Structure 1
């Protein structure tokens, strides 16, 4: 069927929102069942997965096992990884890599023709499959986009953004979409039996991010406003080495660089990670991000130094990073690369079961917009692309085999706290507040200030896109405020230690977030509200 922007027909049986890895893979797995893919940007261009440099984690190397992969995932996740989910993910990895090969993804191979595997932080074995070193995401999306365009059963609608999820008696009934290029255009309603949200993450809610503008938390907001349960929204991974050359989004210096021996230094040339963790540069990302953040905050700066480990081989081994540096006038073969932490990946999202089902009948979610329990409080490197393809395949299988699911109970809307004394937020102000108040290091006072601001804009703005951003920001900030401990990527300077009583996932709703915002605006003591079980 190919690409078309014709929305003038009746019921769409299955609609997928999002043109990244999860959405495209799910559409292909649903073939020959007719499916419509809605993408605000041209396929792949607005997808974070297309920017993923490192690759996909899979225990396909000699001597490696899914059990070892799952154990590494659990070890990094801060005590709240669902171990059964992690093991299932690892065990399906090989089959999904085979699928991608069948779709034409040119994974790197060794001299014997076997899949070449690399190692990244906190992995106990070399198990990352790459494409030309740092081009995995781009190559995967290019191959899947071509496959989708050649599949007659897939209709692609580009240039439209989803604004509202429609429900009827607790069940999804369709979507409201609008032309992405015209905010004043009349919205169009698409009826559907099944909706799959594959809209990506929330990185663009932050002023410094590696994510494209489309990663603004849209899918999470759509589901939350419809009453869906949201899991672990406070857990956001900040990539420790975004290249600071004045670009938005910031280019990413892949973690694979550190896997090849590249070191982190400050302006004095000191390797500061050696004193912070035995694994130094290969410590979990949350530890490295806080280390980099601290050096910058202290005025010493932070840099990746590849001059000894790679030198003249840099351009050949990491062409994407090399090109980003050279465009900014930096030669990474001979000069250190300035870096800083940037919002990179959301471990939280719409709560889903092992089949990708949400708490709303007829709604599935896959990829970064979902929360499966696989990542816990801190994602293991290169597990994100794996999770996207594993759950996309499961969602397709579930939709193909389902006739009607039991309707989930509807979660009623509750009054939104109002604070008319606060000036309206712009998108830039919201992003700056997320970075300063809900970023790498957090505290209760600044979180409360952010919550009041986000609650105000969520209620009072007439801009639908900004309202959806504020909805997701409110969910993140209230969950971060409620988790009065430090765990994984969530760090509270006023609660710097883990609390064993809080070693559980967060399950919340927009209604609960609004209750917390109302309590804060009324000056209710923090200890009267607790983390959702």
Structure 2
């Protein structure tokens, strides 16, 4: 029997930007922050290169930022949420700067901002070219560690959610080594990140396997838009897992996508060429590679000898893979980068289950629609992480008996490897019914053998929703249904069938 503890406050699961922002903003409520990985490890926030998008300059406005967000989302963005994000964006960036995030500045002291794809203005606040996520997370982590209301526990892995007979979430079950611990609390905030670790080719930490998403689904929470997965066009193709990222800011600086013959190809696919929306660029690179023409990012003229200073992370990754980007084009390939779908939440981070909140990539606020606008992810984590903390601190503790928690089994490494290959093959940049059906069958087989493991539940959500959406939109492209036809979001409550093969 699991040990049971009572926490008189809020539990936050996840120590990325959304989780830390939530934990800090829940003050004065006591916060127990739980993370499986060491701090600043195992979260996408620390790996983010581009920066934080916000209307900070004199020639920009939140209205323009919201309009760009809505346009990139391919018809599925919730306009009110996009406007909320854009309006609260500048203050969120200033909050991060106030915590010590060393954003690049102009000689006059203003935020230096870069242009990225599908933005109508240069509005991405950066740190040393490609160091934004790392630098922001270092500053926020230091601030969180210094906050007396926050208690952190690393090496604790989420294994399930505690509920009462009404369905209200009353706490969590965690694994600490071989031991299970049940912890009750007034509210639980999931900030567990995305699903990149379900794919064989990903730019995100391998630890991110959609487990928070899965446990919320198993508890009965509504899941929104799970089929919409964003593939970053320019992962550096040097055989590393996860794949290092060539930030979109390189294209904003003028880098070109070329084939093995040295000729640019993006103008054949979109009027904005290299600055087209990410889904368009990803499919173009996929098509060029499938046709045998190869795909390379040529930054020799745009950046050249300035690489070590202006884009140190990209430079180090390339050099580690035997490519000198100062004098050689960088081989690139699309890779799983971001999950637009997630646990459905309102503007205050509340899910459909009382007592459960979600923020960051594991949540679906409706702000990204079918295709996230570049550099809106760190912004969303900060804005909605803070909102989650504010909501949780006002939540009243519930009483009464708990329902016995169902704890999901772990998925063995060989089975996870099979799943990752199947997801990249059949739920990747280009999809069709045959591949998605094959993927669903593979998930059934793995679940029959290994039980209702959280990565299988998350993968099933993606596969089933992708099979059901018989159109192409944003990050979801069906080769057998290439037209755009059904402008409705997906909402599923999957608890009753998530483990159908178990």
- DSSP 3-state at the match of 1:211: coil
- DSSP 3-state at the match of 1:173: strand
- DSSP 3-state at the match of 2:185: strand
Are residues 1:469 and 2:469 paired?
no
**1:268 corresponds to which residue?**
261
- Write the deviation string for residues 245-301 of structure 1: whole angstroms up to 9, x where unpaired: 111100000000000000001111121111110100100000000000011111111
**2:425 corresponds to which residue?**
436
The alpha carbon displacement at 1:9 in A equals 5.0
- The answer on whether the counterparts of 1:51 and 1:138 sit within 8 Å (CA) in structure 2 is yes
Measured in 1, the distance between the counterparts of 2:468 and 2:495 equals: 15
**1:492 corresponds to which residue?**
478
TM-score normalised to the size of structure 2? 0.94
- The answer on whether the counterparts of 2:299 and 2:326 sit within 8 Å (CA) in structure 1 is yes
Measured in 1, the distance between the counterparts of 2:4 and 2:355 equals: 23
Residue 229 of structure 1 is aligned with which of 214, 222, 225?
222
Indicate how the Cα distance of structure 1 residues 425 and 9 shifts in structure 2: closer, same or farther if over 3 A, else same.
Answer: closer
Are residues 1:507 and 2:500 paired?
no
The alpha carbon displacement at 1:116 in A equals 0.7
**2:185 corresponds to which residue?**
192
Measured in 2, the distance between the counterparts of 1:249 and 1:511 equals: 31
- The answer on whether the counterparts of 1:267 and 1:300 sit within 8 Å (CA) in structure 2 is yes
Are residues 1:173 and 2:173 paired?
no
- DSSP 3-state at the match of 1:314: helix
- DSSP 3-state at the match of 2:251: helix
Structure 2, unpaired ranges of 5+: 407-412
Pairs within 5 Å for 1:124-143: 124-143=120-139
Residue 112 of structure 1 is aligned with which of 104, 108, 114?
108
Measured in 2, the distance between the counterparts of 1:511 and 1:375 equals: 25
Higher relative contact order (CA 8 A, sep 6+): 2
Measured in 1, the distance between the counterparts of 2:4 and 2:92 equals: 35
- DSSP 3-state at the match of 2:348: coil
Pairs within 5 Å for 1:55-74: 55-74=51-70
Are residues 1:304 and 2:297 paired?
yes
- Write the deviation string for residues 323-358 of structure 1: whole angstroms up to 9, x where unpaired: 111111211000011110000000000000010000
- Write the deviation string for residues 454-490 of structure 1: whole angstroms up to 9, x where unpaired: 134335415x7xx110000000000000000000110
Measured in 2, the distance between the counterparts of 1:471 and 1:9 equals: 28
**1:220 corresponds to which residue?**
213
TM-score normalised to the size of structure 1? 0.89
Are residues 1:453 and 2:446 paired?
no
Residue 290 of structure 1 is aligned with which of 279, 283, 288?
283
The alpha carbon displacement at 1:102 in A equals 1.5
Measured in 1, the distance between the counterparts of 2:447 and 2:137 equals: 34
Are residues 1:279 and 2:272 paired?
yes
Measured in 2, the distance between the counterparts of 1:318 and 1:34 equals: 39
Residue 99 of structure 2 is aligned with which of 79, 98, 103?
103
Are residues 1:402 and 2:386 paired?
no
Measured in 1, the distance between the counterparts of 2:445 and 2:355 equals: 31
**2:409 corresponds to which residue?**
none
Are residues 1:381 and 2:377 paired?
no
- Write the deviation string for residues 51-86 of structure 1: whole angstroms up to 9, x where unpaired: 000000000011100000000011111111100100
Structure 1, unpaired ranges of 5+: 1-6, 414-423, 519-533
- The answer on whether the counterparts of 1:203 and 1:210 sit within 8 Å (CA) in structure 2 is yes
- DSSP 3-state at the match of 1:433: helix
- DSSP 3-state at the match of 2:186: strand
- DSSP 3-state at the match of 1:455: helix
Instruction: Indicate the RMSD between aligned Cα atoms, in angstroms.
Output: 2.0
Are residues 1:349 and 2:342 paired?
yes
Measured in 2, the distance between the counterparts of 1:341 and 1:106 equals: 30
